[in-house]
Structure formats: C-alpha cells, structure tokens
Amino acid sequence: MSNYLNKVLKDTKKKNLKEPEFLQAVNEVLQSVSPVIDIHPEYEKLAILERLVEPERIIMFRVPWVNDKGKVIVNRGYRVQFNSLIGPYKGGLRFHPSVNLSIIKFLGFEQIFKNALTGLPIGGAKGGSDFDPKGKSDFEIMKFCQSFMTELYRHIGQDVDVPAGDIGVGAREVGYLFGQYKRIRNAYEGGVLTGKDVMYGGSLARKEATGYGLMYFMREMLAADNKSLKGKTVIISGSGNVAIYACEKCQAMGAKVIAMSDSNGCIYDKSGIDLDCVKQIKEVQRGRIKEYLKTYPKAVYMESKGSANPPIWSIKADIALPCATQNDIGIDSAKLLVKNGVIAIGEGANMPCTIEATEYFLANGVLVAPAKAANAGGVATSAIEMSQNSMRYYYTFEEVDKKLEQIMVNIFNECKNASEEFKCKGNYVVGANIAAFKKLAEAMKMQGVV
C-alpha cells in the first residue's frame, strides 16, 4: 500500500474515531483501490482520496412529535449529503433505533460507489433517524414522518437530493413524507422522493428491484463460474423488502429457499419456504417471522441470542443471501458457512459481511457478490422512477424489469473486467470498488477543486 493511502487511512481514523462502521467501509474501499492509486500519482496532489472520504454536507436535526398518549417524543434526524459528483444526492432513509452518525456515514459512503456503478447520473447520500417504527400506530408513524419532513424539506429537491426507503422506511413512510413535502412546497415535485406507490408517481417494479437485481447479479456471477441457481438451496437473512423479493426471484430461477429470518430469529423449512405466507406475515400483518409456524408447524424456529452469530448461518445451504443489516456475517458465521459447503454469498444488505468474513470466503474459493454492486438494482430503479417522473410517463413492469436486468448485467461485467484488469480475477469485491472509484476519480479531476 502506498504512503499516500496509508496517510489518508490514518488521518480518516483520527478524524472519525467514534465511527466504527464508517471506518470499516472506508478501509475496505481504500485498500482495494490501492493498485489504481499506484498508477495515478497525481491523485495525491489532487487530494482525491481526502475529498472522497469527507462528506460535502452533514445535516442533523431535532424531530419532535406527539405519541398516541399525548407525550412529546424527541428523535434525532440525519441527512448526509456525501457526494454530488455525478448527479443529485441520492440514497435512502433508515428508521431504526440503532441509527447514528457512523451508520449513516457508512451508508452514504457506500452509496457513492454503488450509484456510480449503475451508470446513471446520481450522487451519494443517506439519512434517517433513531426512531423505531416497530409497535407504533399508523397515526404515530404519520406524525413522525411529517415532523421529519418539516425539517428535511429545505435540504432536498428533485435536482438537489432525492431520498428513498431503507430499513424501516417502505411505501407507507414514503407516502407520508411525500404528502408533507408536497403540502409545504405547494407543488407536485414527483422526483423528490423515490419508492412512492405507483398510484401517485412511483415506478412499477421498484418494490421488487433490489431483490430481483441481486439475483440477476448472482445469476451472472455463477454463470461466469459455470454454475447456476437451478436446484441450489438458499438461506436468506431478513424478511423485509430486499429479502422477500430476492426470495421470489430465487424461486423463479429454480432454487429452493429453505430459511429466512427477522431480528428475533429464523425459520427453517426444509421443504422450501412458502413466500406467500411470509408476505402475509410481514407485508400485511407486520408480524414476526415466528408466526410462520402457525401455518407450517413442521418448520423449525431458532431464536437469535444477540446479534453475534445469528442461527440462520448454521443451516447448511449452497448459497447465503444476507439481506437484513450490516455485519450480519462475522468470522464465526463465515467459518460455519464454509464448513457447510456454501459456494456463493450475495450481499442484499449493505456491508452485511465483516472484512474478516469476506476475506475468509474469498480465501476459501467462495464467490462473493458485493453489496455495492449486487444490491444496486434498487437505486438504479429509483433513478428510472425519477426519469418517469420527469417525463410524466409510466413504463410497464416488464419494461422496468428489462432495464433493471440489463443494468445488473452491465454492473457485473464492469466488476468482472476491473477484477481481471487488476489481476484479481473472480474477486468482485475489489472489482466493484475499483470500477466505481475509477469513474469517481476521473469525474473529480474534470470538475476541479470543489
């Protein structure tokens, strides 16, 4: 690693000591772009890396709201507008009690690279709040979203910053956020938020896009290794938006999904998960995955005991798709998966594997579809939603799905080509980082010191 790279890593650590997730994301990216830095000594003079790791703007704000008992609650809101090199800031909002600045910065940083890989004109951002939607009434969710948007609206816009969903933010929350934005602005600016319902400006296939996109990437990655999804067993962590539609596409591609989870535990159904039942529990009743056993008493339920080593990763399967949250697979889970013969990992969630786990997979010949590339289908389809809003037009489901599939094939090829060019064939983690970094560094050179 060059002195320049070492120095930037050291300085970033010093400046962001209390942000472990952010430092983890920066470490992974910077170390893997080392060979590009080596052939571009001018990047040091231009401070390319220093500019990439420093957000353009961080916004933090108070979100006061009144719960159903009449008590005032105060949450903290965030929007990190990380990088607008190649388009308006773009990235989701996460509502979860674990949200803090480190998590939003790591997500925003990853988003810059992911968005660059899509080939579409979108910059990188992320936001959210430590608000916990679980157990809240629909009315409380609406009041929180309205208060959140009452501050956020002044920082966003369809050509400025375009938020979307993430953990805890789905079509319901986007609806309330959009309604409040429209009321304050007294204008219908459809492209200011994505992940909207199709009824008022959303895109068909946006809901499915991240999960479907993950499986298009997985299909390409397996095919490059003369493998396919047909007949493979699959385990998927999470049972939210990404997990459900990854499962749907997996099944359509002939694989058998045998386990899914939520933050309390996982279900294992060796005859194959009934996705309609999971959708009913999660999308309609907003219940717990354990309730699957009411319909399928022969399935097994394993409780999660804390966040380390979730039980789902002890189930033997060919393919593992972490689609819940960051650092879901640590080194112990990675060792178990390898011991049980896993052949491929598809990262539906952002940074779901620790650096040690990823290195262990790669060292043991397991294919890894990295989050930045493999889950980029969601944001790519959000960009397609923005174009439809600008055109005041709707594509059919098939049209959007076709565009999504082509984008995922292109992203896979970019990762593959970069991994080959920089002599790490088959390492798509490094391939994705390099392919995105090359675009960003060149765009930065072209736009001067800003």
Distances (CA, A) of 295 to 251, 277, 281, 300: 20, 8, 11, 12
Q: Could you say whether residue 175 binds ligand NDP (CB under 6 A)?
A: no
Region of 2-10, 238-246, 394-402, 425-433 interacting with ligand NDP (CB under 6 A) = 238-246
215 counts as binding ligand NDP under rule CB under 6 A = no
Q: How far is the CB of 363 from ligand NDP (least distance, A)?
A: 25
- In three state form, how does the secondary structure of 354-371 look? CHHHHHHHHHCCCEEECH
Provide, rounded to whole angstroms, the least separation between the CB of residue 400 and ligand NDP: 14
Torsion, Cα 302 306 310 314, to 10 degrees, reads: -70
Residue 316-345 contact track with ligand NDP, rule CB under 6 A, x = bound? -------xxx--------------------
Between CA 127 and CA 104 the distance in angstroms is 6
> Does the footprint of ligand NDP cover residue 257 (CB under 6 A)?
no
What are the φ and ψ backbone dihedral angles of 79, each rounded to 5 degrees?
-145, 120
Query: Based on CB atoms, which residue is closest to ligand NDP, 161 or 166?
Result: 166
- Out of 220, 248, 262, 401, the only residue in the binding site for ligand NDP (CB under 6 A) is 262
Which residues, other chains included, contact 371 with Cβ-Cβ below 8 Å and sequence gap of 6+?
110, 114, 347, 348, 349, 350, 351, 352
Residue 168 lies near ligand NDP (rule: CB under 6 A): yes
Q: What single-letter DSSP state applies at residue 283?
A: I
Whole-angstrom Cα distance, residue 322 to residue 261?
A: 10
By CB under 6 A, residue 203 contacts ligand NDP? no
Q: Does 354 bind ligand NDP (CB under 6 A)?
A: no
Least CB distance from residue 104 to ligand NDP, whole Å? Answer: 11
Part of the chain binding ligand NDP (CB under 6 A), chosen from 4-12, 54-62, 78-86, 346-354: 346-354
299 lines the binding site for ligand NDP (CB under 6 A): no
In whole angstroms, the minimum distance from the beta carbon of 24 to ligand NDP comes to 14
Residue 14 Cβ vs ligand NDP, minimum distance, rounded to whole Å: 27
Other Cβ atoms less than 10 A from the Cβ of 425: the count is 12
How many Å apart are CA 189 and CA 177, to the nearest integer? 13
- Looking at residue 87, the DSSP 8-state letter turns out to be S
By CB under 6 A, is residue 348 in contact with ligand NDP?
yes
Taking the C-alpha atoms of residue 303 and residue 98, their distance in angstroms, rounded to an integer, is 20
- Supply the minimum distance, in Å, between the C-beta of residue 110 and ligand NDP: 9
Our CB check for ligand NDP shows the closer of 239 and 433 to be 239
Among the listed residues 90, 105, 114, 126, the single catalytic one is: 126
Active site residue 282: no
User: Which of residues 349, 404, 418, 430 is near ligand NDP by CB under 6 A?
Assistant: 349
| Closest residue to ligand NDP using C-beta atoms | 240
Q: Residue from 375, 388, 389, 419 that binds ligand NDP (CB under 6 A)?
A: 375
> What are φ and ψ of residue 131, in 5° steps?
-65, 135
Question: Alpha-carbon distance 117 to 160, whole Å?
Answer: 20
Task: Enumerate the H helices of 375-427 as residue ranges.
Answer: 377-391, 397-421
Decide: is 238 part of the binding site for ligand NDP (CB under 6 A).
yes
Please report whether residue 401 would count as binding ligand NDP according to CB under 6 A. Answer: no
CA-based nearest residue to 307, from 273, 360, 244, 265? 265
Q: How far apart are CA 294 and CA 77, in angstroms?
A: 38
Q: List residues binding ligand NDP (CB under 6 A).
A: 165-168, 170, 210, 238-243, 262-264, 307, 323-325, 348-350, 375, 378
Catalytic residue IDs: 126
